[in-house]
């Protein structure tokens, strides 16, 4: 049976999750580096999300000046 695109994506996601969990549970500074990277990404997504919401809300708000 020919694998579909969705099956390939799900399989790759499962494999990626297993590899990241091995790295995150590794020795040394690896868990701290994974945590620091996650926090940086979450912070960046939050900042750009708020900026996007502000830009969209300014499109629909009426200003009299």
Percent residues over pLDDT 70 in the chain? 95
Which structural domain, as residue segments, surrounds residue 50? 5-60
**Total of domains in the chain:** 1
Cβ(47)–Cβ(39) under 8 Å? no
With 90 as the cut, is the pLDDT of residue 15 above it?
yes
- Does residue 65 fall inside a structural domain? no
Global confidence as pTM: 0.61
Residue 1 confidence class, pLDDT cut points 50, 70, 90 = low
In a domain, 27, yes or no: yes
Assess if residue 39 is contained within a domain. Answer: yes
The phi and psi torsions of 29 (rounded to 5 degrees) equal -90, 0
Residue with token string 């900042």: 47
22 vs 45, residue with greater confidence: 45
Whether residue 22 lies inside any domain: the answer is yes
């Amino acid at each position: 049976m020919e694998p579909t695109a969705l099956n390939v994506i799900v399989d790759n996601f499962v494999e990626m999750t297993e590899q990241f969990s091995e790295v995150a549970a590794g020795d040394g500074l690896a868990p701290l580096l994974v945590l620091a990277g996650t926090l940086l990404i979450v912070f960046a997504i939050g900042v750009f999300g708020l900026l996007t919401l502000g830009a969209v809300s300014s499109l629909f708000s009426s200003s009299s000046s």
